[in-house]
Amino acid sequence: MTDQQRRPWIVGVSGASGTPFAAAVLRGLLAGGESVDLVVSRASRLTLLDETGIAFRDAHWREDLRCWLERGADGKPDAFAVGGAELERVRHWPAGDLAAGPSSGSYPAKGMLIVPASTACVAGVALGLSKDLLQRAASVTLKERRPLVVAVRETPLSGQTLKQMVALDEAGAVVLPASPAFYAGATHIQDLVDFVAGRVLDAAGVEHRLYRRWEGELGGGSRSPEG
Ligand SMILES: Cc1cc2nc3c(=O)[nH]c(=O)nc-3n(C[C@H](O)[C@H](O)[C@H](O)COP(=O)(O)O)c2cc1C
């Protein structure tokens, strides 16, 4: 694929708890053959360090991303295998680089997924602050009328955040709380993470096999996939 044909999903990772959600969405996009432009906020480097022990470095982003994507939600370091060809489809932009591609509407992109989204990020995008590349790319996505999915992670929610979530909905974004359901037969923490990641990909229209869909039958999720 030439650079001109490339139309990535922009994935913004902000500083809410939930870096395993981001990893699951990124794996899902890459498994689906999609290209990704990745923006990792300054604050999310703290949550990533806290939740995985990985210090994300701009200069060694590919190495650090591979460690992150190969880690399971339970902390196992080699739960997933991520190939070099898949990582080749990722482009990383430092969060402070406001001259980066995704800061302009003329940069080709399918849309943007913010996973997880902090309440600070929700506020910034709702107000159009553009305080860093992640928020600027989200504002650009809205103004270009491209799909924007905001996977909020906070509880409880203040009235202020609720109003900002309504503002995002009215602006055309899908506001998707990072809240797993239990009907899909989860037995491991990864299943709960993959459910949320799968719903993010559903909202973006990206095919995946991250969770078992409701089939209209009570108790279906507790059966084995074969039965
Ligand atoms: C370990 C840790 C966990 C956090 N978890 C959350 C969270 O779940 N939700 C949230 O809205 N903010 C959370 N925060 C606070 C955000 O990181 C903070 O508001 C930050 O300014 C967000 O910046 P960003 O949106 O630019 O990434 C957390 C911070 C730390 C250090």
pTM: 0.96
Digit-coded pLDDT (tens) for 167-205:
999 999 999 999 999 999 999 999 999 999 999 999 999
Q: Which residue's CA lies nearest to atom 18 of ligand 1?
A: 15
35 marked as part of a ligand binding site: no
DSSP 51-116: HH-----GGGHHHHHHHHHHS-TT--TTSS---HHHHHTEEEEETT-TTSGGGSTTS--SEEEEEE
What pLDDT is stored for residue 227 in this prediction? 39
Is the CB–ligand 1 distance for residue 43 below 6 Å?
A: yes
Q: Which CATH architecture has domain 9-209?
A: 3-Layer(aba) Sandwich (3.40)
Digit-coded pLDDT (tens) for 13-48:
999 999 999 999 999 999 999 999 999 999 999 999
pLDDT at 222 over 90: no
